[in-house]
């Protein structure tokens, strides 16, 4: 390697370290904690603990799909808007999650967002407010978004299931299968340049892969021609801050792809 290449390599490394330091400041304490045995943070009553436990489990057995009385369209009408899809969702009783909810958490953000973030489902804070990612994990997601130069209102955020599963558990297969067409239609309506799939549930919904977020993250896949970056759910980062470095690598790739236009 020539001296010039050497200097350019060092300059690039310095820029990367500086950007990493900014990211560490953005997402708060614990980011640089590198030990695999970093202490867990209990986030009871939110989607946080559920997603984190799910990612730790990695693999789940498929559940039988139950019959339901209301139909669900698996693809939307051409040109349908987010409002059209919300109207079709209505006061939904299509799956067994509906009796336990306070609010349907449909999704929110820029209807023309370049990046879209797909999560698992509402936790207690989201169920109470009717908004996605407003608890501790949501605050961390906000800081991750800000670390790549965007604001929460620049992106669109929605979950695979729109109603809170009881007992803070992961959505079961029949629930995800019934609700996920709405997320898919939201994606088509927003037409983002990139989707960031937060954890195993949206990865399974969008890509058909079951579990294995650790192996899948850091690589782009596709959902209907749209690049998808799987990464850890923010709730998992609350339990294991050492994984924040991996998320940094993933969102750097997302930013680079967005910057390409």
Q: How many CB atoms lie within 10 A of CB 162?
A: 28
Helices (H), the chain: 3-27, 47-57, 82-89, 124-129, 136-147, 173-190, 200-207, 213-216, 234-239, 244-259
Shortest approach of ligand SF4 to residue 199 CB, angstroms? 17
Q: Which is nearer to ligand SF4, 89 or 140 (CB)?
A: 89
Distance CA 97, CA 166 (A): 8
Residue choice 43, 97, 145, 189 for contact with ligand SF4 (CB under 6 A): 97
The closest alpha carbon to 114, from 90, 145, 93, belongs to 145
Residue 92 binds ligand SF4, judged by CB under 6 A: yes
Pair of tokens at residue 171: 């959505």
Q: Which stretch binds ligand SF4 (CB under 6 A): 91-99, 124-132, 143-151, 204-212?
A: 91-99
**Which residue in 134, 140, 155, 179 binds ligand SF4 (CB under 6 A)?**
179
Least Å distance, CB 85 to ligand SF4, is: 11
92/203 with CB nearer ligand SF4? 92
**Which positions from 192 to 221 touch ligand SF4 by CB under 6 A, shown as an x/- string?**
------------------------------
Q: What is the contact mask toward ligand SF4 in residues 147 to 176, using x (rule: CB under 6 A)?
A: --------------xxx-----------x-
CA distances from 15 to 7, 18, 20 (A): 12, 5, 8
Identify whether the C-beta of residue 24 lies closer than 8 Å to the C-beta of residue 18.
no
One DSSP character per residue, 7-29 reads HHHHHHHHHHHHHHHHHHHHH-T
Residues that bind ligand SF4 (CB under 6 A): 89, 92-95, 97-98, 104, 161-163, 175, 178-179
């Amino acid at each position: 390697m020539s001296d010039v290449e050497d200097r350019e390599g060092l300059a690039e490394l310095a820029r990367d370290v500086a950007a990493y330091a900014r990211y560490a400041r953005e997402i708060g304490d614990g980011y640089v904690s590198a030990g695999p045995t970093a202490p867990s943070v209990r986030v009871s009553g939110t989607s946080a603990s559920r997603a984190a436990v799910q990612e730790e489990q990695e693999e789940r057995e498929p559940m039988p799909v139950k019959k339901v009385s209301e139909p669900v369209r698996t693809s939307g009408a051409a040109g349908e808007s987010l409002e059209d899809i919300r109207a079709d969702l209505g006061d939904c009783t299509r799956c067994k999650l509906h009796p336990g909810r306070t609010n349907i958490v449909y999704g929110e953000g820029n209807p023309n967002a370049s990046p879209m973030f797909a999560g698992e489902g509402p936790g207690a804070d989201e169920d109470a407010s009717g908004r996605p990612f407003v608890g501790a994990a949501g605050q961390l997601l906000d800081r991750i978004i800000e670390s790549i130069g965007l604001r929460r209102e620049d992106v669109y955020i929605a979950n695979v299931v729109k109603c809170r599963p009881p007992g803070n558990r992961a959505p079961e297969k029949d629930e995800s299968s019934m609700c996920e067409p709405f997320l898919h239609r939201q994606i088509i309506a927003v037409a983002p340049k990139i989707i960031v799939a937060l954890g195993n549930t949206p990865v399974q919904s969008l890509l058909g892969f079951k579990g294995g977020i650790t192996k899948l993250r850091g690589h782009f896949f596709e959902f209907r021609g749209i690049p998808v970056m799987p990464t850890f759910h923010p709730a998992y980062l609350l339990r294991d801050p050492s994984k924040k470095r991996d998320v940094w690598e993933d969102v750097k790739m997302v930013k680079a792809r967005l910057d390409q236009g």
